[in-house]
Amino acid sequence: MEHLSTLTYEVTGRVARITLDRPGRGNGITLAMPRELADCVERANLDPAVHVIALAGNGKGFCGGYDLVESAQEGMSGPGPGVPGSPLDPAVQAANHDPSQTWDPVVDWQMMSRNLRGFMSLFGSDKPTVCKVHGFCVAGGTDMALCCDLLVMGEHARIGYPPARAWGVPTSMMWAHRIGPARAKHLLFTGELIDGRRAHDWGLALFAAPEAELDERFERLLRRIAQTPVNQLIMMKLAVNQAIHAQGLAATQTLGVFFDGIARHTPEGYAFQERAARDGWEVAVRERDEPYGDSKPKQD
């Protein structure tokens, strides 16, 4: 496996541990992170010693969403043409689109569908994936959390998709599948964040533990799953996932990916981007979220 720049990977006993490791940037998602995530998931699936995959985040929270500043910088420097991360990479072209130029939605699709593919490696993994959310899990970070088979949270951890207010649509479109249409619409119509206790009440989180107990309860769950033979785990996951596929997951994700690009090219999307270019992303996000009662800056 190539050197990992956005996360760490280790195996302890029967557990493969993937940890987002950009704590100075709120574990913000870069173009490299979904690719590295998928590589680690595949590594765990090919390891006969691994029974379950644990996903967590280093630092104060799980993930603050896409690192918009870092994504913009990736277009300024990096590998040569034809190499992921180079200025000619379709992903970089889409991430650094100039609003004064014609927008190509298919180039945007090439970027976001590949990111989604990385996130969905957790859902499509042969072996169970369990995500631990502490602190915060917002915007693009929810794609990773909701693509896992099981989600556990701290009582006071916060999860939600504020870009629903402007400049984003969830590409994984897992919300309705996880909490039902009405609650999904509530969160996406308002961009509201909910805490771990409500996430548990709504069936999104398997449990919400006091922060001091979260790690221990997470480890207890991993140990219980790891006792089950790998062949049984794979069969159970495949069977349950068929119900979600039958609900039309592929179709809703196709809409989600295209709509995410469109949302960044609406009048409101352009205004948000122009404000960010003039005064910085934190200012733009704060202004977007303040009318809803959210004043703390966060990644998207």
Q: What is the pLDDT of residues 210-225, one digit of tens each?
A: 999 999 999 999 999 9
* Architecture in CATH of 7-292: Alpha-Beta Complex (3.90)
Angle between helical axes of 32-45 and 105-124 (0-180°, round to 10): 30
Could you tell me the pLDDT band of residue 287, with boundaries at 50, 70 and 90?
A: very high
Q: What is the mean pLDDT of the chain?
A: 90
Percent of the chain beyond pLDDT 90?
80
Residue 184's alpha-carbon distances to 66, 139, 161, 165, 176, in angstroms, are 21, 14, 10, 14, 5
Using 50, 70 and 90 to split pLDDT, how confident is the model at 277? confident
Burial pattern 76-90, b for ≥16 Cβ within 10 A else e, equals eebeeeeeebbeebb
Token representation of residue 166: 């402007």
Q: Angle between the 249-263 and 105-124 helix axes, to the nearest 10 degrees? A: 140
Helix (H) or strand (E) holding 209: strand 208-209
Residue-level pLDDT at 75: 42
Q: Does residue 174 contact residue 146 with C-beta atoms inside 8 Å?
A: yes
pLDDT, tens digit, for every residue of 43-88? 999 999 999 999 999 999 999 999 977 655 444 333 333 334 444 4
198 vs 149: CA distance, rounded Å: 19
The number of angstroms, rounded, from the C-alpha of 222 to the middle of its chain's C-alpha atoms is: 21
Asked if residue 137 lies in contact with residue 193, where contact means CB atoms within 8 angstroms, the answer is no
* pLDDT at 107 exceeding the cut of 60: yes
Q: pLDDT tier at 102 (50, 70, 90 boundaries)?
A: confident
pLDDT at 3: 87
Cβ–Cβ < 8 Å for 168, 256: no
pLDDT digits (tens, 9 = 90+) for 176-235: 999 999 999 999 999 999 999 999 999 999 999 999 999 999 999 999 999 999 999 999
Indicate the pTM of the whole model. 0.91
Calculate what percentage of the chain has a pLDDT beyond 70: 87
Residue 146 to residue 27: CA distance in whole angstroms? 16
Q: Is the pLDDT of residue 28 over 80?
A: yes
